[in-house]
Amino acid sequence: MLGRVRRARHRYLAALPLLVAVSALAGCSSATEVAPPSPTGGSAENCRALHQDLPRTVDGLRRGTAEPVSDFTAIWGDPAVELRCGVPKPEVLRHGSEHYNPDTDSAEVDGVQWLFEKQDDGYRFTTVLRKVYVEVTVPGRYAPEVNVLPDLAAAVKKTIPAGV
């Protein structure tokens, strides 16, 4: 599964242990607040299609209910792995932004290119080279955090068209 992760055109973050397949199993017992993005037009349609195709589990974590309920968000586990569809272009990719970094790290997982950014607790992964940005935030408790991405790849490829 993670053996399909291959080096992308950007530097690969050596600190991410991509080949370790250990994860914590957890259920989702209560709703988690997730701020829904506000995509419009075709982006909103793509996000609704993604929402319908998302798996019931990612890396062994069961899908829960995000609050407020939205076709643009999804969660798994407790603490929650959070998915937000239709987010703005990541700041590190916006030319002229304070945090712009053309050499930012990314990797391809099962045909989907992901930008990854270390957070205080875990990682945030954002699709790139797709017409709609999909963001997945994974708490450090689920290290290696990348283990959720193979379970999301098929739904992203099917519903979010490639393009820039």
* β-pairing verdict for 112-119 and 106-109: antiparallel
How far apart (Å, rounded) are the C-alpha atoms in residues 60 and 25?
6
Q: Which whole-number Å values give the CA distances from 114 to 60, 82, 139, 143, in the listed order?
A: 21, 15, 17, 17
Percent of the chain with pLDDT over 70: 81
- Is residue 7 predicted with pLDDT exceeding 50? no
Beta partners for residue 117, in sequence order: 124
Tell me the three state secondary structure of residue 92: helix
Give me the DSSP letters along 16-30.
S-TT----------S
CB 160 within 8 A of CB 130: yes
- Is residue 22 predicted with pLDDT exceeding 80? no
Instruction: Give the start-to-end residue ranges of the domains of the chain.
Output: 2-15+26-159
Q: What pLDDT score was predicted for residue 25?
A: 33
Provide the whole-model pTM: 0.80
Per residue in 78-112, pLDDT (tens digit) is 999 999 999 999 999 988 989 898 888 899 999 99
- Structure tokens belonging to residue 33: 């607040």
